Structures are given as C-alpha cells and as structure tokens.
Structure 1
Amino acid sequence: MSKATFAIIAAAGAATGAGVTALLYSSKTPRQQAPVAAPAQAPPSAPSGLAKAPSPQPPTPSLAPKRADTPVNPEGIYQYGFPGPINDPLHSLPLTGAYDRRMRNPSWVAEHITPNSLSMNNADRKNSNFFEDNNIPPLFRAKLADYFRSGYDRGHQVPAADAKWSQEAMDATFALTNMCPQVGDGFNRDYWAHFEDFCRNLTKKYPSVRIVTGPLYLPHRDPADGKWRVSYEVIGNPPSVAVPTHFYKVIYAEDGSGPNGKVALGAFVLPNARIPNDKHLSEFEVPLEAVERASGLEFASKLDPSRRKSLCKEVKCEIYVRDFKNANKSLPGK
C-alpha cells in the first residue's frame, strides 16, 4: 500500500484530512436516537418484489498438483463442503448486491436511477415494513429483534425514495439485507439523507446514474500507544450485527452517449456519526482506490481510463439542506 493511499484511509478512518471530517466525528458517536419499534411477533413476510436469490455457488478450489512423496492431503477437507467465505447474492427489483454473512450487513448494494424512474410516484413508504430476508440462512441472517432498542436506525443502503416507481420495488428496499445500523439524529436522518438527495439531483444533469453503497470498518489510531486498531460495536442478542464505522458511496454518472460514453466517477467515505449539515460534501471525497483498498472490492476494473471523468469537477459536490427529520417521524420503525 502506498504511503499516499494509507494516509487517505487513515484520514477517513481516524478523522483527519479528506478526512479531517471523518476523524472529527468518528471519535464520538451520539446514541440519542428514538428507539425503533418492537418487532411484531410474526415478522412481515417478504414482499413479492424481493426475488429469490440464487444459491451462492462456492468457488471451485484451485488444487495444487499432488506430489507422490507428500504424506498428507489437506484438500480432502472439501469432501465435507467448502467452508467459505460465501457472499450471498442480493437481487430484487430496485437493487443488486452481495451480503456479508459475518457482519450481517450487505457488502455492497447497487442501484440505478434515471430522471424517468424518479419522476414516477407509484409508491408510499407508509405501506412498507421492515422484514427479514429469508434468502439468507437463519444462522447468518440479521433479524428485526437485533435492532430493537439498539440505539441505531435501520439505515437503508438503497433509499426507499429511489424506488417510488413501484410499491413492490419500494417494499423490497426494506429488507434487512439492505440495512446497516446507522446513527439516526445527525446522520441517517440528516446528513446522509441530504447526501442521498444529492445523488438524486444528479439526474438533472445525467440521464443515467448508478450508485454503489456499503459499510466500512476502518482503523483508528489508539492515542495510548499510537497503534492502529479496528474497533466496532456489535448489536443484537446474541450480538451478531456489526455497526460500521463508516459508509461509502461510489457514484457513476453516465452521459448517455452510448457504450463508449463518458462516466463521471465520484467516491465518498462518511463516518457513521453526527455530521453538521454545513460540512462540505467535497471534504468526504476520496480516490476510488481508497474505497477499493478499504472494502476489498473493485468498482471500475472494466471502465477504460479514457472514459473516466471526475464527478466533483463536473458538478458542485455539496449538499442542500432539506427538512427530512420531520418527514421521517412517520416512517416505520423510526
């Protein structure tokens, strides 16, 4: 890892630099959110908009040639099954992605918004309910009870407001596989909501916008000994759902000129903590490589460099404050 990239990750994880924001607001995470409502005894069934995800196929192990003089056969373990890791695929009307069984959070979810999709108003989130995703084996599934009185919101990764084109699509965004524990006041109901609105406003300039969103678990420097450590809370009973330290969004704003058209890329990392609404969004912008190194994912390996543009050089990367908090008071489970 280059020194420059490490500095970027450290800044986003500890709170300095790009960065200063992440450090300033990740050190103290307020927990004054209104408690989420108790789950009903019978959790709501999955809406029809949630497609049956194909069973994850374990990768075929690449076996080394067996030498005649080797007295052991470690590959014999595969006769009992492939231990993993397995990332369950997520597929529903409004999103695609992958689920992390260990963290009980999505690794990433991708959505697609257009001026047309956002102009439709065929759904009302008051009719939607949070639900457990039965496509995930029960042992690895996030449950409604895990969030009950946790102090955290069930934070959409793909926003419900981006799926107004269909009630089925909006319902599908309420699957717990599309959720992560998020700080409510000051983040999920404030700055993060404004950031989601920024993404929607991009469709005023671009005919097609794709967004990948997900959690990060970044290191911070221990002031006692100066060493870097990863520390995050786990909620639930038994504790099983990890609370991310940060969240990322990778934005692909497509100019719509065809398969070789230009794509304005933007990558952002925000701490899972209170953020003042007057903070400039550009302070959370990081190189795409920084998100890839931190997440272990690749976001643009097939996008030719000649087609790439910088989003924040094309548009003004700032948020416009709107009153989401009062609107969210009526949302399910808020």
Structure 2
Amino acid sequence: MSKFTLAIVAGASAAVGAATTAAIYGLSGPRRQEETQTINTTGTTTPSTTRNAPAALPIRRDDPTVPAVPPVDPSGVFQYGFPGPVSDLRAASSLTSAFDRAKRNPHWVAEHITPASLLIRSGDRRHSYFAEDGTIPEKFRAKLTDYARSGYDRGHQVPAADAKWSQNAMDSTFALSNMCPQVGEGFNRDYWAHFEDFVRRLTSFYPSVRVVTGPLYLPKREADGKWRVSYEVIGHPPNVAVPTHFYKVIFAEDGKMGGQVSLGAFVLPNAVIANDKPLQDFEVPVEAVERASGLDFAGLLPPARRKRLCQEVSCSVLVKEYAERQRTMMTPPPQKGGMPPSTAFTQR
C-alpha cells in the first residue's frame, strides 16, 4: 500500500471522534402523602395523613412485565423540523448526485458512459451556461457569486464532454451542484482533464463504464506531529469549501449479467500536477476512499466479480494541450470491427 493510501486511511481514522456513552437513567419513587388508618382508643378507625409513610415497593427497571415510561421525548424536536443531515438527491438525464449542504459541494456524482453515448454529438457546450441549482434551498446552495474572483475554476465532477448525446444532458452538467472549486491551470484544465479523457477511452475496451466522482477533505500532519483538516472557503459570505483532494471510483463492466467488473479508485490532490506524473501513482484501494469519504461504493460487489482495473489496462494519461482538447474533446471510440484509436494505454 502506498504512503498516500496510508495517509488517507490514517487521516480518516483521525477524523473519527470518540464514541458517545449512554447513561442509564434511574428513577426512584417519589415520596407522597399516604393515607393510613390509625386505631383510636374507642377501637374505631379514623383516617389520618402522614408524610413519612414509605412509598410502594420499587418497580424493577428491568421487569419485562412493566412498560418503562421515559420522562422525556427527545424526538419531539421534529415538530419544528428535521435537523438532518440532508443529502439533496438529484437525478438528471446525465448524472445522479447527492449534495452536501454544509460544504456546498456534492458528496458524490455518478455517471454512466458507453461507446454509443460518446458517439452521439447532439450537445454543444457553447449553448450551456453555469447556473445555480434551484432544487436546493437557497440558504444551502452554491452561488455564481461565490466563485467570482475566487481564483478557482468551477470544476465539473461529471464532465460536459461525457454528456454530448443531448443538449439537455449537457446542460444538466452545468448546475453548480455538479461543481467544486478546483485549481485551474495545472489541474482542472490540465491533469484532471487528461484523467477524464482516460476514463472516456476506457469505452474502447469496455461496453459500459460507470464512474463516481467527488471531493475529499483530507488531513495532513503538521509540524507538531498532529493530523489536522484544513481547507479554504470561498464566497460572500464564505460558503463553498475548497476540497483538498478529489476521487474517482471507476466500474468498468464487461457487459454480461453478473459479469466481471474492473474496479479502479484514484485520489488526486487539488493542486498543480505535472503532466508526466504517472496516473497509477494516484491509484488507491477503493476501501481507502470509502473510509476517507464515509461513503460505500462497492459493498454489494462480491470479491469474485472484481478485477483490478490497472491490471487490465495501462493506467496512464494522454496529454493534450488545453486548446486542442477543447476543440476535439475526445477521439471517438472504434466502430465494431475497426481499429482502436490511438491511446496512451493498451489492454493487458
């Protein structure tokens, strides 16, 4: 396991707080006025009241025949509203996502690409515009003004180039609920874009590729030896968290019912990355991403169906200049029976 993977696992462990201990609430029976009888000198009984009469025998708290009546109702707060957390689920034509209201970024965004979806060219990003997501309550959503003069790009989690099969599909990728603040030069417009291109080119070998992408906020060890999470917040007032890292979990399917799935997980820092940096340096076990994010990606995928993606194909990026990439977006996958396109990876 790489040092980077260990940092993810250790950082995620450091972020877990101590477990809360439950206290046992015991009630002793209150002393009450008891009406007793006293015998007078005439032999008749007369009622009298004493404050010192003992209470009835105490009820055992563990007696299954006696229902416990708690003295409080914590759930009564729900009459004023459910505190949460709430993950706003968005199901659009090109993606499905869950939104993190506290950080104004998605928890995760899922997409599905196929050779057919990438061949259709009905969408044009020149007709798409960044927009706030009106389905998220106004006080929790990211706003266009939050990104203004922030120094960060509005970084797509599902790329627009993956949704060219219709204009509506492409438009849906431009909602800010599909965005995170990303370093522009050297990352969003460079290495991250090459990584997205690598994912598209997987359709040369797999008939179905599913991808989950999202932000991470990972700890780092400081000079005093302690691990701390620190990230910038942009906006007016500060609203949108700037992730320290981003992940992609890739499910490359063989197209057969119950077939094999080539699984790959990658974590990249939100920083300038040299184009000659090997993509495989960012490969981590999917369990490391799950632990760091608190999400479950492959819990229902049996080990017998899993393959390691980077053992099936060469995990490396094909570097293009940004201007050229904007023009071409991607090389179309091969037609059935045709020659595969020129790529930076080969099938093993």
TM exceeding 0.5: yes
Structure 1 CA distance for aligned equivalents of residues 296 and 9 of structure 2: 18
Q: How does 1:157-236 map to 2 (within 5 A)?
A: 157-223=157-223, 225-236=224-235
Matched, 1:278 2:270: no
Change (3 A) 1:296 1:11: closer
State the identity %. Answer: 66
- The answer on whether the counterparts of 1:108 and 1:213 sit within 8 Å (CA) in structure 2 is yes
Structure 1 residues 229 and 67, CA, compared in 2 at 3 Å: closer, same or farther?
Answer: farther
Counterpart residue number, 2:253: 254
Aligned-pair distance for 1:192? 0.1
- Cα deviation code 1:160-210 (max 9, x no counterpart): 000111011101100000000000000000000000000000000000000
Distance in 2 between the 1:108 and 1:201 partners?
Answer: 22
The secondary structure found in structure 2 opposite 1:139 is coil
Residue 50 of structure 1: aligned partner: none
Provide the secondary structure at the position in 2 that maps to 1:248: strand
Q: State the alpha-carbon separation in 1 of the partners of residues 95 and 80 from structure 2.
A: 34
Name 1:296's counterpart in structure 2: 294
Distance 1:269 1:67, change over 3 A: farther
TM-score by length of 1: 0.78
Q: Go from structure 1 to structure 2 and tell me whether the alpha carbon gap of 1:325 and 1:11 turns closer, same or farther (over 3 Å shift).
A: farther
Judging changes above 3 Å, is the alpha-carbon distance between structure 1 residues 6 and 74 closer, same or farther for their aligned structure 2 residues? farther
Asked whether 1:136 is paired with 2:136, we answer yes
Greater than 3 Å deviation, 4+ residue runs: 4-7, 11-14, 66-70, 325-329
- Structure 1 residue 238 and structure 2 residue 249: aligned? no
Distance in 1 separating the partners of 2:218 and 2:182: 15
Show CA shifts across 1:232-257 (max 9, x none).
00000000100000000000000012
- Identify if the C-alpha distance between structure 1 residues 327 and 134 changes in structure 2 by more than 3 Å, giving closer, same or farther: same
**Match of 1:39?**
none
The SS at the match of 1:313 is helix
Aligned to 2:58: none
Q: CA deviation at 1:68?
A: 3.4
> Unpaired segments of 5 or more residues in structure 1?
15-65
Partner of 1:125: 125
Q: Which runs of 5+ in 2 are unaligned?
A: 12-65, 330-348
Shift of 1:121: 1.0
Structure 1: how far apart are the matches of 2:9 and 2:120?
A: 36
> Aligned equivalents of 1:108 and 1:315: distance in 2?
25
Residues 25-46 of structure 1, C-alpha deviations (whole Å, 9 max, x = no match): xxxxxxxxxxxxxxxxxxxxxx
CA contact (8 A) 1:189 1:328 kept: no
Question: Which one-letter code corresponds to 1:92 in the other structure?
Answer: A
Which amino acid counterpart does residue 313 of structure 1 have in structure 2? Q
Say yes or no: does 1:8 pair with 2:8. Answer: no
Distance 1:271 1:13 in 2: 16
Amino acid at match of 2:116: N
Alignment-derived partner of residue 314 in structure 1 = 312
The answer on 1:101 being equivalent to 2:98 is no
Q: 1:77 to 1:253 in 2, by over 3 A?
A: same
CA contact (8 A) 1:253 1:264 kept: yes
CA RMSD of aligned residues (A): 2.1
Deviation at 1:73, TM superposition (A): 2.2
Larger RCO of the pair (alpha carbons < 8 Å, separation 6+):
1
